[in-house]
């Protein structure tokens, strides 16, 4: 991953201050909220999904403001992100990478099954001809 320093997490006061500044500079009043989506190698506008609902968390989510989006946003592991970046550098897509990964896993499973069958065949008593 990049060693760039990330900004501190945004609290609600900081978010309100920023949104009010945006409202003052963009007087349209019809700006919408979006969540940026990690999609390296894309061309055009920033990949994002629209926020459809904001709610205050309770119980285990107490102290959180939760944003719901029009489509699911999933978490990728740092290893997945690094693999995506490398795949994109090589001209590959995330979908091609995931397909390759699935095929490699399937090959490992089949090789393990063949090894189990060989061990089983070697341990099985051979039929004696009559």
- Return d(Cα 5, Cα 3) in angstroms, integer: 6
6 and 17 within one domain: yes
96 and 65 within one domain: no
Domain C-terminal end among 56, 73, 90: 73
pLDDT reported for residue 110: 94
127 DSSP assignment: P
pLDDT reported for residue 71: 86
Q: What is the pLDDT of residues 39-66, one digit of tens each?
A: 777 778 888 899 999 999 999 999 889 9
92 and 55 within one domain: no
pTM value surpassing 0.75: no
Total number of domains in the chain: 2
Domain that holds residue 38: 1-73
User: Sign of torsion, CA 94 46 19 50?
Assistant: negative
62 and 13 within one domain: yes
pLDDT reported for residue 77: 77
100 and 52 within one domain: no
Residue 9: phi and psi, rounded to 5, are -55, 145
Rounded to the nearest angstrom, the gap between the alpha carbon of residue 31 and the centroid of all alpha carbons in its chain is: 26
63 and 7 within one domain: yes
7 and 64 within one domain: yes
Q: What is the pLDDT of residues 99-123, one digit of tens each?
A: 778 888 999 999 999 999 988 888 8
Domain C-terminal end among 55, 73, 91: 73
Share of the chain above pLDDT 70, in %: 87
91 and 28 within one domain: no
Range with lowest mean pLDDT among 7-16, 29-38, 57-66: 29-38
The answer to whether the CB of 69 falls within 8 A of the CB of 48 is: no
The answer to whether the CB of 66 falls within 8 A of the CB of 55 is: yes
Residue 128 has pLDDT above 70, yes or no: no
58 and 42 within one domain: yes
Rounded average pLDDT over 70-74 = 83
> CA angle, 21 as apex, 6 and 28 as ends, to 5°?
120
Could you give the angle at which helices 94-123 and 78-89 cross, rounded to 10 degrees? Answer: 110
Domain C-terminal end among 26, 46, 73: 73
Residue 3 has pLDDT above 70, yes or no: no
Rounded average pLDDT over 62-78 = 85
Residue 130 has pLDDT above 60, yes or no: no
């Amino acid at each position: 991953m990049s060693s760039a320093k990330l900004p501190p997490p945004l609290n609600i006061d900081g978010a309100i201050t920023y949104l009010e500044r945006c409202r003052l500079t963009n007087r349209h009043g019809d700006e919408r909220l979006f969540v940026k989506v990690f999609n390296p190698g894309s061309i055009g506008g920033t990949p994002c999904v629209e926020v459809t609902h904001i709610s205050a968390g309770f119980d285990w989510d107490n102290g959180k403001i939760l944003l719901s989006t029009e489509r699911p946003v999933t978490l990728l592991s740092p290893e997945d992100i690094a693999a995506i970046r490398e795949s994109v550098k090589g001209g590959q897509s995330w979908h091609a990478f995931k397909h390759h990964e699935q095929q490699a896993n399937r090959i490992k499973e089949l090789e393990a099954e063949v090894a189990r069958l060989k061990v089983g065949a070697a341990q099985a008593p051979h039929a004696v001809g009559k």
